Structure 1
C-alpha cells in the first residue's frame, strides 16, 4: 500500500489551514531560505502568499522564480504535503481586504480585525505572490492499519 496521497487528497490537505514552511534557493553561496508563512490555496488552483516587498524572502523568490511549500499536520498519525512550482505572478499591490482574508483564515474574524488594526501601515509594503504547484511529495500515515 502506498502512503502517498492521491491528487484529490493532496489538494484537500494543502487547502486546510496549516502554517507552511516556504523554501527558496539561496544566493551568494548561502543555503536555501526556509521560513514559516501563511498561505491560501483552493484545490486545483494556485498558492498565494502575502509578504513584505523588500524582504530577503521576496528578493530570493523573484530571483529563483520558483518555491517549495511544505505543510504538515500536527495530529498523529502525521500527514504532509510538499508542493513545488513556478511563480506565476507577483502583485506589487495588496489590499487590506486581501490581507484580512488571509488573516481570517488563520485567526478568525476577530483575530483578523485585530491583526489588521495592529499592522495598519504594513499593507503598502506588501506583495502578493502566486505559485502554481507542479511537483508534489506527500505522505499520509493515516493509511497504515492500526
Structure 2
C-alpha cells in the first residue's frame, strides 16, 4: 500500500507550484486518454482551474467527457504525488483575464509574466477555463520509506 498524505498535506501539495499532467478520456473510446502537461491553479478546499484554447482537442474532450484528472508530482527524492479526478463544474468562455494573469504569475517571475501576458494578449478572446471539483484523490509520499531505508543502511 502506498504511503498516503493526510488531507491538509495533500491539499497544500496540490496548491504548490507544479506543472500538472491533465488526463481526459476520449468518450468515443477509439483512442487512449489525452494526457498533457498544463499550468493549473488550486487553493485548498477549492477547485482546480486549467486554461486552454477554445478550439483545441483538449477543450473538445473536456467538454465531451465532463470530467478530468490532474496529477502533480515532486520528482525529487523522496518522491511525492497527488492525483485528483472529478467533474467539470464550470466553463468560463472566454477566460477571465484575472484567471489568465494569476496562472501566468504563478508559473513565471513578475517580469516574465508581464511580458508573456502582453505577447499573448490576443489569446484572451480564444482561451477558456475549465474548473473541476476534486472528487477522488490519490496520493503518495515516500518520505517514510526513505527514512526506513536510511535507518536500515546505518544499522
TM-score (normalizing by structure 1): 0.95
SS in structure 1 of the partner of residue 109 of structure 2: helix
CA distance in 1, matches of 2:135, 2:109: 30
1:67–1:86 Cα contact (<8 Å) kept: yes
Q: Which residue number in structure 2 is paired with residue 22 of structure 1? A: 22
CA distance in 2, matches of 1:77, 1:91: 37
Larger displacement relative to structure 2 (92-101 or 52-61): 92-101
SS in structure 2 of the partner of residue 61 of structure 1: helix
Q: Which residue number in structure 2 is paired with residue 111 of structure 1? A: 112
SS in structure 2 of the partner of residue 22 of structure 1: strand
Deviation at 1:97, TM superposition (A): 2.8
Q: Which residue number in structure 1 is paired with residue 41 of structure 2? A: 40
**Structure 1: gaps (5+ residues):** none
CA distance in 1, matches of 2:2, 2:40: 28
Deviation at 1:59, TM superposition (A): 0.4
Change (3 A) 1:11 1:74: same
C-alpha distance after superposition, 1:25-80 (max 9, x if no partner)? 02440110000000000001100111111100000000000000011112211100
CA distance in 2, matches of 1:100, 1:110: 12
TM-score (normalizing by structure 2): 0.89
Deviation at 1:93, TM superposition (A): 1.6
- Computing the radius of gyration over CA atoms, which structure comes out larger, 1 or 2? 2
Deviation at 1:143, TM superposition (A): 2.3
- Cα RMSD (Å): 1.4
CA distance in 2, matches of 1:38, 1:2: 26
Deviation at 1:98, TM superposition (A): 2.1
CA distance in 2, matches of 1:15, 1:22: 15
